[in-house]
Chain A
Amino acid sequence: MTALLQAEALAVGHGRRVVARDIGFALEEGRVLALLGPNGGGKTTLLRTLLGLIAPLAGEVRLSGTPVARLARREVARLLAYVPQASPGGFAYPAREVVAMGRAARLPLLAGPGARDRAAAEAALDRLGIAHLADRPVTELSGGERQLVLIARALAQEARCLVMDEPTASLDFGNQALVLRQVRALATRDGLAVLMTTHHPDHALLVADAAMLLHGGRLEGPMAPAVLVTPDRLRAAYGVEAVVAEVPVPGGTRLVCAPVVT
């Protein structure tokens, strides 16, 4: 099976400055891949390279087997959807219009969304359980709701692979769980491939099938989250002590990662 998103011997950075090198991974459908790493470690640079927004300094990114450098923006957008962090501000578009913007890569230059695009937007809002927010201006939504609207926009784009930039950043405890549940369901139920960056090793343990750690210009992994997330690695990457322990949860046990603050 061809991977939906694949990086091979990739070096990323700006101009001549290499931020990270020797990056390699493959992401298949139905899988969630978590990307961990400290701030300034190159997560955002890697994401922008994967999206074809900046050129790789070495190596190659492939979408469904085709090098991203050979694809037009419109073709990239049909294969790979980007979910940015939900930032406050911006223009007060209604949620349904924001989601309909996901259709841009499927519309002719001079056209606006038609009936089919409206239907796709409605379905995406429905899929995430936020149809009731359709007419609300996004500027008036909570952070969690705005994040779900942006995920809905990526679904309306109808790409099989999603790249999410810290989907749980700046969300409260409840909204983090809400968004993570949706991320897992998009992979399991809809068969989408999801690459998400996160600040919480625990989130990788919670929903990811595989995890990677980017720090010091190198990528560790991908490997099973339970194998990657260890106190030693977290100390090396983040400079803090952490414990990884099995805790009972309904229906069994799971690994939990927590920092030690003394």
Chain B
Amino acid sequence: MSRADSPWRGPLAWTLAVAALLAAMAGALAVGRFPIAPGDLPSILLGARDDVAATVFWNIRAPRVAAAMLVGASLAAAGAAFQGMFRNPLASPDLLGVSAGASLGAVLGIFLGLPVVLVQGMAFAGGIAAVAAVAAIAAAVRGQGDPLLVLILAGIALGALMGAAISLLKVLADPYNQLPAITFWLLGTLSAATRGDMLAAAPAALAGLLVLLLLRWRLNLLTLGEDEARALGVETGRLRAAAVAGATLATAAVTALAGAVGWVGLVVPHMARLLGGPDLRRLIPLSMLLGAAFLLAVDTLARMAGRTELPLGVLTAVLGTPLFLWLLARARSGGGA
């Protein structure tokens, strides 16, 4: 008997993921510049209080916690779907240029001195436009080639171009006002996210997640490869387009909210796979739970670590790299991708 087929694996994975999320939530809600005692949480949650603690909780702490969870869940679910559908454990949500496109949109917005809401709008639109352009280019040049490979290469090519455009804008930007804002945005942060921002990003992110959740069994078939999936009766082109659309919608929405937060979409699905196996029916929801817990913990750390808030991207890389290497070492000794 191998570990993978133990009957307790499913329930244990869910229990661990839910416990991790609850722990991260309790910690995140309690700590901050204005500490809220864990014992006060029940009365605040019931709306029985009207003091400073309740105000801080409902207007600052809770929206930020919800935003962190939304960002983590979206990036991790999109990463899990991409890794399966591109049959590549190194795939992450930005594979097809959504992060680069969103970054370019936001950086352009900051460069032009637009208000925050427009910067966010440009990030969202930029992310979606980038993936749409990659898909259109791939469809135009495909011919007889492997459709997946063409899609990935088109994503890499366009990503490089957008990276160059971002670099150009950084060179041209005002080094005292704009450049710090651009740099901070490119590393990701929730320090400025308000309840309104969160509520604006949530519908698109949740819609994207819903698409991935609804298609999650069928997405398993794409992991078999193009020919096998089609021989099993799957219209692979349409299914992949729907999944890419869902993942892109969710990623673009949360990137507009939090900036380009790296590593989550790559590392968290691997943790979830280790815990619950490769079946996307379990892997996508499990990735959402773990992604929410992970980003919530990272964001809490970002709030508490220094005098000024640390960028999320720095912390996800610092935490994600050793975690990824550890997972890599484990995968070498069996279990596969």
Contact = CB atoms under 8 A, between A and B. Distances in A.
B74 interface: no
Contacts of A104: 218, 221, 232-234
Interface residues of A, number: 38
B91 to A, nearest CB: 13
A82 B2 CA distance: 29
B33 to A, nearest CB: 45
B174 interface: no
Q: How large is the interface on B (under 10, 10 to 19, 20 to 34, 35 or more residues)?
A: 20 to 34
Interface in B201-233: 214-218, 220-221, 223-224, 227-228, 230-233
Contacts of A73: 230, 233-235
A92 B231 CA distance: 21
Q: Identify which of A53, A91, A92 gathers the most chain B CB atoms within 10 Å of its CB.
A: A91
Contacts, number: 93
B144 A92 contact: no
Interface string A81-106: 11010000111111001000110110
Interface string B75-95: 000000000100000000000
B38 interface: no
A74 B230 CA distance: 8
A139 B336 contact: yes
A78 B2 contact: no
A137 interface: yes
A140 B336 CA distance: 10
Contacts of B336: 89-92, 137, 139
Interface string B297-337: 00000000000000000000000000000000000000111
Contact of B232 (A111, A137, A157): A157
Contacts of B5: 94, 135-137
Interface in A45-74: 48, 51, 53, 72-74
B221 A15 contact: no
B227 A84 contact: yes
B278 A53 contact: no
B281 interface: yes
A112 B278 contact: no
B221 A14 contact: no
A231 interface: no
Contacts of A111: 217
B40 interface: no
Contact of B279 (A78, A97, A109, A140): A97
B10 to A, nearest CB: 11
B217 A112 contact: yes
B4 interface: yes
Contact of A93 (B143, B220, B231, B232): B220
A89 B334 CA distance: 11
Given A94-B4, A101-B221, A139-B336, A110 B214 contact: yes
Contact of B231 (A51, A89, A91): A51
Interface of A: 14-15, 48, 51, 53, 72-78, 80-82, 84, 89-94, 97, 101-102, 104-105, 109-113, 135-137, 139-140, 157
Interface of B: 2, 4-5, 84, 143-144, 214-218, 220-221, 223-224, 227-228, 230-235, 277-279, 281, 335-337
Given A92-B335, A93-B278, A101-B220, 4 more contacts: A72-B235, A93-B279, A94-B277, A97-B220
28 contacts: A14-B144, A15-B144, A51-B227, A51-B230, A53-B231, A73-B230, A74-B235, A77-B231, A77-B232, A77-B233, A82-B227, A84-B227, A84-B231, A90-B224, A91-B84, A92-B335, A94-B5, A97-B279, A104-B232, A104-B233, A109-B218, A110-B215, A111-B217, A112-B217, A113-B217, A137-B5, A139-B335, A139-B336
